[in-house]
Structure 1
Amino acid sequence: MEFRFVHPGGFVGGIIGVVCLLLSFYSLSVLPTTLAGILLLLFGLALIIAEIYFRLLER
């Protein structure tokens, strides 16, 4: 939190992130979602986390 007060322009990234989160919540409520789609998203997220974990182990 201190970073945003010390560096000018630090609020822009936070504001854009909040707007993107609000848009994603709205779109998820409007678009029909299926269990298979949600599971595929979670599987992709798990693969990304696994890749980051194994890359950190290689160091």
Structure 2
Amino acid sequence: MEILVSVIIPVYNVEKYLERCLESVMQQNYLNIEIIIINDGSTDNSLEICKRYEQIDDRIMSMI
């Protein structure tokens, strides 16, 4: 039985780096992960990026 690993990514106005960060986590060799994105009121496009990636990979959960 593999252990579930939670990766928590805090987000605040990081649209410039967010896609690279998410792609990196999604490509890890260990597959039994959940990716929790916590957006703390970003005023840039970070929220839209979070929502898009939540649709791409079912391991991603976005929290506002």
TM-score between the two structures when normalised by the length of structure 1: 0.28
Q: Which has the higher strand share?
A: 2
TM-score between the two structures when normalised by the length of structure 2: 0.27
- Structure whose alpha-carbon radius of gyration is higher: 1
Greater relative contact order: 1 or 2 (C-alpha under 8 angstroms, separation 6 or more)?
2
